[in-house]
Amino acid sequence: MEERFEKIYTQGKLNIMEICVDKETGVQYVYHLSGYAGGMSPLLDADGKPLLADLSKLNGAE
């Protein structure tokens, strides 16, 4: 089974921030991990709508 999310950005070593894309919907999510705590949230534009990635540019695109 193919993985649904693809990591497109990573920042940090101890406090980690990543941006992932849902390969089915194109919605981008930010994930933050600090120690034993973490959280994930969709990235939103100025109008409050989810940011969408161009799925044709992802590594797993056919």
What pLDDT, in 10s, does the model give residues 22-55? 999 999 999 999 999 999 999 999 999 999 999 8
Residue carrying the six token digits 């973490």: 38
The answer to whether residue 60 scores a pLDDT higher than 70 is no
User: Phi and psi (nearest 5°) for 24?
Assistant: -90, -35
- Strand 37-42 relative to strand 15-22: parallel, antiparallel, unpaired? unpaired
What pLDDT score was predicted for residue 2? 85
- Which of the given ranges, 12-16, 48-52, 57-61, has the highest pLDDT on average? 48-52
pTM of the model: 0.85
Q: Give the per-residue pLDDT at 57.
A: 86
Cβ neighbors of 39 (< 8 A, separation 6 or more) are 31, 32
- Answer for the pair 24, 11: CB distance below 8 angstroms, yes or no: no
